[in-house]
Amino acid sequence: MTIESHSARGLADEALDNLVHQFARPLDFLRELVQNSIDAGTPRIEVRVRYTPAKAGDTEPGVVAIHVDDWGEGMDEAIIDSQLTRMFSSTKEDDLTKIGKFGIGFTSIFAIQPDAVLLRTGRHGENWELIFHRDRSYDKVRIDTPVDGTKITLLKHMAADRVPAFCAEARWVLSYWCEHSSVPVIFWDNTEAEEAAAPDMADPFAAFEDPVTAVGPGPEAVSRPLSVDTELFVHHIEDAVEVVCGVTDTPGYGFYNGGLTLVHTTERASLEDWARRLGHLTFKVKYDRLEHTLTRDNVLCDEHWEKAMQVVARAADLLRARLIDHIAVVVEQGEDPGPWHARLAEELVAAGLHGDRPAYSDRVMLVDRRGKALSLAEVEAQEDAQGHVLMACGSGPLAEHLEASGTRLLPEHPGTRALLMETWSSGVLGRNRRMLTPADQLYLLPRLLMRADLRSSERAMMVAAEQLVEHRIGRRLKLRVGEFARGAREALVVNGPEDGGLFQRPGPTRIRMVAKLQQRCLLVNRQHQTYQAHATAARDNPLLAALGLLHALLIEEGLESPSTLAELSNDAARRLTGDHP
């Protein structure tokens, strides 16, 4: 048996160090070994972590062993020399560019500073064993024992209390890089297994020749089908590109080649021009033409990436259709659709579909305050009739009165509000946005007071006011006094039915009817400070108090002309002087 010994060439040290430390975490070398195994055509990959405690009297701590085994094509001497150990055997040449595809990843095993690395492999009837030392030199020997694929074992002295964290990190690294590997990856934690007695040898690495047998916890499947952790998603495959895409509160984006992670990030900027369309979603895309950048911190945004992103966008369109279907199911089941409304609104903006009457307007997608289903078309019809989409203001007489009259009140949920704001359509007047208004900001249900409910000075003031109105304005204007739920915080005057009921709060309007063409009943807020001030003045002069109150009411209402106000003042002056009809 001939053993060849080789030493790493000093001139290559810097280049080799760069390859050894090419990853952020030392244990990231596991990804590279898995990649090499996949490239070798293995049907599965097994990673085992074992620990041999130090014996009594040992000066060194115990030894942790990481085994990475595959059953691929293996390597013969030609592949070993040209594609695995090129950087280690480069004393024969000065060309630092000659490093094989297996060697680039394999060099990273030295990032954890192992005490030794054993590699056994076989191909074409050749079987080889290589032992790499701490200084990265190695011994290569041809062996008679058949080897199926490639088996790599790294050994490193480690204190027992560090082993659990080391094993947990190895599991995490494998799960991160190989979570969707196309080839099954199995992880075994045998660090706490009961082992046979270690060989009584001075060499702690005698385990290479006579490995102990461990019976520990069962295998863990590291790799799993492409998936996203969200309730609602689509799985779409198109032209060798596989995508899963879902809605979530925490968007994230994963890119995979052969199922191995290229990058998994939450940074929207990584999506470049696709951030606006897809940044609100979570998705993973698996495509064997994707590559990472030279710095390995992002995916290469080339034509293959662009093709993959176009497939993701089409998957997002399918997701939108599924989201609409899901909202309909949620409504039918009597659940709260508000959170799903928020996601649909966000998708409509991202897809550039907001501001148009959606094709699904007639589908049941909303619920009113009582939990009864309705469609966007029904909401729009009510909006056209009332000028507003009324949002629920809680329970109480006002909500019950509105609902008794047939008005549908929508629950006040940010998601529902967002959806309604993004699904408007332009009408005759060119409406640009829906008017979403809490019902109690538009209507109120006051308590109307009878004359007997007023103090004598108030009655005198209101009688004088009614006489001035009847003489100058006529019967098209009636005055009533009421008490409002919010008291002094309410408006001074509102317009509504003479016999009581629902009154509408004053507000801006696009079209003002001529006052003479309207029958109105003005309800005066008894609790308002303006009314209270004039009621106090009425104790001395009810007529002057009535005139002042009328001016305040009509100015706030804004329908009567300045000439009408002037005529009212003239009528009051004549009454004060006794010169009136």
Q: What pLDDT shows up at residue 21?
A: 53
- Residue 71 token pair: 């059953």
* C-alpha to C-alpha distances, 213 to 66, 152, 210, 441, nearest whole angstrom: 14, 17, 9, 77
Q: What pLDDT shows up at residue 274?
A: 97
Query: Do strands 45-52 and 185-190 pair parallel, antiparallel, or not at all (unpaired)?
Result: parallel
Q: What share of the chain is helix, strand, coil (3-state, %, to 5)?
A: 40, 20, 40
Q: What pLDDT shows up at residue 211?
A: 40
> Do residues 240 and 123 both lie within one domain?
no
Residue 344 lies in a domain: no
> Do residues 454 and 542 both lie within one domain?
yes
Q: What pLDDT shows up at residue 367?
A: 94
Helix (H) or strand (E) holding 238: strand 233-238
> Do residues 452 and 436 both lie within one domain?
no
> Do residues 141 and 44 both lie within one domain?
yes
Q: Which of 422, 440, 458 is the last residue of a domain?
A: 440
Residue 345 lies in a domain: no
Residues 410 and 400: their CA atoms lie apart, in Å, by 13
Helices 456-472 + 562-577 axis angle, to 10:
120
Residue 342 lies in a domain: no
Q: What is the CATH number of the domain that holds 538?
A: 1.20.120
> Do residues 48 and 158 both lie within one domain?
yes
> Do residues 158 and 283 both lie within one domain?
no
Residues 295 and 288: their CA atoms lie apart, in Å, by 19
> Do residues 194 and 244 both lie within one domain?
no
> Do residues 356 and 285 both lie within one domain?
no
Residue 328 lies in a domain: no
Residues 345 and 349: their CA atoms lie apart, in Å, by 6
> Do residues 263 and 212 both lie within one domain?
no
Residue 227 lies in a domain: no
Residue 244 lies in a domain: yes
Residues 44 and 187: their CA atoms lie apart, in Å, by 11
Residue 465 lies in a domain: yes
Q: What pLDDT shows up at residue 439?
A: 87
C-beta separation of 468 from 546 below 8 A: yes
> Facing residues of 482 across strands?
448, 525
> Do residues 208 and 243 both lie within one domain?
no
Q: Which of 374, 409, 440 is the last residue of a domain?
A: 440
Tell me which residue range forms the domain holding 457: 447-577
> Do residues 276 and 296 both lie within one domain?
yes
pLDDT by residue for the chain (581 residues), tens digit each?
455 555 544 545 554 455 555 566 889 999 989 999 998 999 999 999 999 999 888 888 999 999 999 999 999 999 988 888 765 543 333 433 333 344 466 888 888 999 999 999 999 999 999 999 988 888 999 999 999 999 999 999 999 999 999 999 999 999 999 999 999 999 999 998 544 444 443 443 444 344 434 445 678 999 999 999 999 999 999 999 999 999 999 999 999 998 999 999 999 999 999 999 999 999 999 999 999 887 667 899 999 999 999 999 999 999 999 999 999 999 999 999 999 999 999 999 999 887 666 788 899 999 999 999 999 999 988 888 888 888 887 778 888 888 888 889 999 999 999 998 888 655 444 445 677 888 888 888 888 999 899 999 999 999 999 999 988 888 888 999 999 877 778 889 888 777 777 887 766 544 444 545 467 888 999 999 999 999 999 999 999 999 999 999 988 888 888 888 898 888 888 888 876 55
CB within 8 A of 162, min separation 6: which ones?
A: none
Number of structural domains found in the chain = 4
Residue 35 lies in a domain: yes
Tell me phi and psi for residue 448, to 5 degrees.
Answer: -75, 140
Q: Which of 370, 405, 440 is the last residue of a domain?
A: 440
Q: What is the CATH number of the domain that holds 128?
A: 3.30.565.10
> Do residues 134 and 267 both lie within one domain?
no
Residues 235 and 238: their CA atoms lie apart, in Å, by 10
> Facing residues of 281 across strands?
247
